[in-house]
């Protein structure tokens, strides 16, 4: 299930841990090639912002920035950020103190050098120059070119790793959630001026899933280098507890490599340990967790590591686009997961199944503010459904309208205006939840409860059917005086439409993630039901 990391907290905090920056009492360590060896992710997360010289004891001439940009034209787009950053510091050095270059210069160089581990398939401009400068013999005397190169590379890193591809790309992918807006110059400067405030905290401006997926990206790439990942070929239709087969040992080995199984991989018996591992694997791949290893489960087990890596990369990019944090209560729907998650700030309160749009009637990726709960609603049938479904049905059955508790209220454009009366057979169920938007999408109840038992739930015309409408109504109306469970139940079954305006609007985010981590830090994959992954993957992996 979708982590239950907020789509917005999964809406959204980064994991770059920051350490204090006052190093004036210590001798700055000499930076050598050995000190710049690949660090663990945990160590790397101490590296970028907030670890600079806060003493502002060393200054330089403002014209040196212009000379630097002239000499490095590929950094021209970052010049405004560089100027603003140093102007706020009164042109004090950030990467040097009186003892010389601070350690974090090498840490930033590591991050820039290893952009591939950030899911970035391109190099930064002038990286060779940065490498040669950082590896050169260090002295206490500040080098203005290195100082400015480090700051420039910070902003390059921020754009690539934190901001992501241009907004035109996300729009072309029909991603209409608001892109986050971060002033990276002010963000960096604030951490330099108040390092203690940021030390040891999770403050990087990236949705939290980004770093969690990054850890799995490194694991899967390492696994791809070490394992040929040959398909497992079944010798029977399915495998269940108690079965024995050489194939079972291969399945155990595969699940061990995927971190689902922890037992003896040479044992050919389907035991309890394997049952638990199979169920976990099925759950995190969005399947019915029955423990039976049939064709569907084997297909997922045989999915290539290359494909999984592409999925991770695509969803890391989507994580870069999201707002960092939502401090209020909010709803988040992850379309490929078929789940609604209800949050208060960063805390998941509960989750429930949903039905989303078919591939022909895709649910739109966007956000809005929930304003109304409508009890015993009419269903105003969309014109497209009237034309394509109801009119043909009326020709076949003259009693179709009355049989389905519908009524014609007028005519428009040569078509009847049709609505379905409130009641248990109404296609919207007993309640709907409105967050006004130009896409005419909303959440609602449904009389077709059996669909929630399906593992893949893309059946609607675009709106989102919720499994627990009463619970959702109670959550949304918790601040509206008098709307307790009894009153809500009565209104749902009154047969008379009633609008209730929420005392507090509740943000709603409808997102699209096919790879994410859950609350147990398990990597989840879901099918790309709207075929949105491949176009984005191709753009991300295109050689620059």
d(CA 299, CA 232): 9
Question: Across-strand partners of 354?
Answer: 466
- What's the residue count for the chain? 544
Residue with tokens 């398939």: 121
463 labelled catalytic: yes
Q: Identify which of 221, 280, 250, 261 has the alpha carbon closest to the alpha carbon of residue 523.
A: 280
Q: Is residue 469 part of a domain?
A: no
Phi/psi at 410 (5° precision): 165, -165
Query: Among the options 21, 72, 463, 522, which is catalytic?
Result: 463
Q: Is residue 72 part of a domain?
A: yes
Return the structure tokens found at 194: 């108040």
Find tokens 């595969």 and name the residue: 254
Pairing of strands 431-434, 443-444: antiparallel
Residues 142 and 113 in one domain: yes
How does strand 329-334 pair with strand 498-511?
parallel
Question: Tokens in use for 467?
Answer: 């499994």
Domain count, the chain: 2
Q: Are residues 227 and 83 in the same domain?
A: no
* Residues 52 and 154 reside in one and the same domain: yes
Q: Are 82 and 147 in contact (CB under 8 A)?
A: no
DSSP for 188-238, written as a single string: HHHHHH-HHHHBTSB--SS-THHHHHHHHHHHHHHHHHH---PPPPPSSS-
In the 8-state DSSP scheme, what is residue 28? P
Is residue 328, in this structure, part of any structural domain at all?
no
> The tokens of 130 are what?
């940065």
DSSP 8-state class, residue 162:
I
Burial status of residue 295 (CB atoms within 10 A of its CB: 0-12, 13-18, 19 or more): exposed
Q: Which of 72, 341, 404, 444 is catalytic?
A: 444
Q: Cα separation of 9 and 4, whole Å?
A: 10
Q: Which residues pair with 6 in a beta bridge?
A: none
* Residue 267: domain span: 215-306+527-541
Rounded Cα–Cα distance for residues 318 and 323 (Å): 11
Query: What separation, in Å, do the N-terminal and C-terminal C-alpha atoms of the chain show?
Result: 35
d(CA 535, CA 522): 26
DSSP string, 80-122: HHHHHHHHHTTSB-SSEETTEE-THHHHHHHHHHTGGGGT--S
Q: What is the pLDDT of residue 265?
A: 97
CATH label of the domain that carries residue 259: 1.10.101.10
For residues 54 and 90, membership in a common domain is answered with yes
One domain for residues 78 and 109: yes
Q: Give which of 344, 329, 335 is closest to 363, Cα–Cα.
A: 335
Q: Which of 485, 509, 361, 345 is nearest to 435 (CA)?
A: 509
Which pLDDT score is estimated for 326? 77
Run of H or E including 499: strand 498-511
444 is catalytic: yes
Rounded to 10°, the helix 533-541/305-321 angle is 90
Paired with 511 in beta bridges are 334
Task: Dump pLDDT digits (tens) for 144-165.
Answer: 999 999 999 999 999 999 999 9
Residue 234 lies in a domain: yes
Contact 48, 108 (CB under 8 A): yes
- Say if residue 114 is in the same domain as residue 166: yes
**Are the CB atoms for 282 and 299 separated by under 8 Å?**
no
Q: Going residue by residue through the chain (544 aa), what tens digit of pLDDT does each one get?
A: 444 444 444 333 332 333 332 333 344 444 444 444 444 444 444 444 444 555 556 788 889 999 999 999 999 999 999 999 999 888 999 888 888 887 778 878 888 999 999 999 889 999 999 999 988 756 778 899 999 999 999 999 999 999 999 899 999 999 999 888 777 766 565 555 554 444 433 456 678 899 999 999 999 999 999 999 999 999 999 999 999 999 999 999 999 999 999 999 999 999 999 999 999 999 999 999 999 999 999 999 999 999 999 999 999 999 999 877 778 899 999 999 999 999 988 789 999 999 999 999 999 999 999 999 999 999 999 999 999 999 999 999 999 999 999 999 999 999 999 999 999 999 999 999 999 999 999 999 999 999 999 889 999 989 999 999 999 999 999 999 999 999 999 999 999 999 999 999 999 999 999 999 998 999 999 999 999 999 999 998 874 4
Q: Are residues 48 and 189 in the same domain?
A: yes
Give the DSSP H or E segment for 491. helix 485-492
Residue 42 lies in a domain: yes
181 and 288 together in one domain: no
- Report the relative pairing of strands 415-420 and 100-101 from DSSP bridges: unpaired
Look at residue 219 in the predicted model and tell me its pLDDT.
96
Residue 511 and residue 332 in contact, taking contact as beta carbons nearer than 8 Å: yes
Residue 169: inside a domain, yes or no?
Answer: yes
Distance of CA 460 to the CA centre of its chain: 23
Using the 3D structure, point to which of 177, 205, 233 is the last residue of a domain: 205
For residue 335, tell me if it sits in a domain. Answer: no
Q: What is the pLDDT of residues 178-199, one digit of tens each?
A: 888 777 766 565 555 554 444 4
Q: Are residues 39 and 179 in the same domain?
A: yes
Note the helical H segments in 227-304. 246-257, 272-284, 295-301
Contact 123, 115 (CB under 8 A): yes
Tell me whether residue 224 is in a domain.
yes
Residues 96 and 68 placed together within one structural domain of the fold: yes
Task: For residues 200 and 231, state if they share a domain.
Answer: no
Q: Where are the beta strands (DSSP E) in 274-399?
A: 329-334, 339-344, 347-357, 366-375, 379-380
What was the pLDDT predicted at 135?
83
Of 140, 172, 205, which closes a domain? 205
Domain final residue pick, 157, 172, 205: 205
Distance CA 387, CA 465 (A): 23
Task: Tell whether 56 and 183 lie within a shared domain.
Answer: yes
């Amino acid at each position: 299930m979708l982590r239950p990391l907020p789509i917005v907290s999964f809406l959204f905090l980064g994991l770059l841990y920051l350490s204090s920056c006052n190093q004036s009492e210590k001798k700055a360590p000499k930076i050598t090639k050995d000190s710049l060896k690949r660090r663990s992710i945990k160590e790397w997360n101490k590296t970028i912002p907030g670890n600079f010289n806060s003493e502002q004891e060393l200054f330089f001439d403002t014209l040196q920035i212009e000379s630097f940009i002239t000499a490095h034209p590929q950094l021209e787009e970052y010049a405004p950020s560089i100027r603003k950053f140093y102007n706020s510091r009164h042109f004090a050095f950030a990467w040097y103190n009186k003892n010389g270059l601070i350690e974090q210069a090498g840490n930033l160089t590591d991050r820039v050098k290893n952009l591939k581990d950030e899911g970035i398939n391109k190099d930064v401009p002038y990286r060779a120059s940065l490498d040669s400068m950082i590896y050169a013999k260090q002295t206490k005397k500040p080098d203005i070119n290195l100082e400015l190169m480090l700051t420039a590379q910070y902003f390059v890193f921020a754009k690539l790793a934190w901001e992501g591809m241009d907004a035109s790309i996300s729009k072309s992918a029909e991603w209409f959630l608001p892109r986050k807006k971060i002033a990276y110059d002010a963000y960096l400067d604030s951490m330099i001026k108040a390092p203690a405030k940021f030390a040891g905290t999770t403050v990087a401006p990236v949705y939290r899933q980004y770093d969690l997926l990054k850890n799995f990206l490194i694991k899967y790439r390492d696994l791809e280098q070490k394992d040929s990942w040959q398909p497992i070929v079944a010798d029977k239709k399915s495998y269940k507890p108690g079965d024995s087969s050489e194939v079972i040992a291969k399945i155990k080995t595969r699940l061990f490599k995927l971190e689902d199984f922890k037992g003896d991989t040479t044992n050919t018996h389907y035991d309890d340990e394997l049952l638990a591992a199979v169920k976990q694997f099925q759950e995190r791949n969005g399947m019915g967790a029955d423990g039976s290893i049939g064709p569907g489960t084997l297909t997922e087990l045989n999915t290539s590591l290359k494909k999984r890596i592409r999925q991770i990369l695509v969803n890391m990019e989507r994580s870069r686009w999201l707002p960092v944090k939502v401090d209020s209560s909010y709803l988040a729907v992850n379309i490929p997961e078929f789940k609604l998650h209800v949050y208060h700030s960063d805390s998941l309160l509960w989750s429930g199944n949903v039905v989303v749009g078919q591939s022909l009637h895709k649910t739109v990726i966007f956000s809005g503010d929930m304003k109304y709960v409508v009890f015993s609603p009419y269903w105003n049938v969309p014109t497209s459904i009237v034309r394509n479904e109801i009119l043909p049905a009326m020709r076949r059955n003259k009693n179709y309208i009355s049989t389905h508790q519908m009524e014609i209220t007028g005519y428009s454009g040569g078509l009847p205006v049709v609505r379905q009366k409130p009641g248990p057979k109404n296609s919207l169920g007993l309640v709907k939840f409105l967050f006004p938007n130009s896409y005419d999408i909303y959440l609602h109840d449904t009389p077709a409860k059996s669909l929630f038992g399906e593992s893949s739930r893309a059946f609607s015309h675009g709106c989102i059917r919720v499994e627990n409408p009463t619970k959702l109504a109670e959550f949304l109306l918790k601040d509206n005086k008098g709307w307790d469970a009894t009153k809500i139940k009565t209104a749902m079954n009154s047969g008379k439409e009633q609008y209730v305006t929420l005392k507090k609007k509740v943000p709603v985010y409808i997102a699209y993630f096919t790879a994410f981590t859950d609350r147990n830090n398990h990597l989840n994959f879901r099918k790309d039901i709207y075929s949105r992954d491949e176009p984005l993957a191709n753009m991300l992996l295109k050689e620059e």
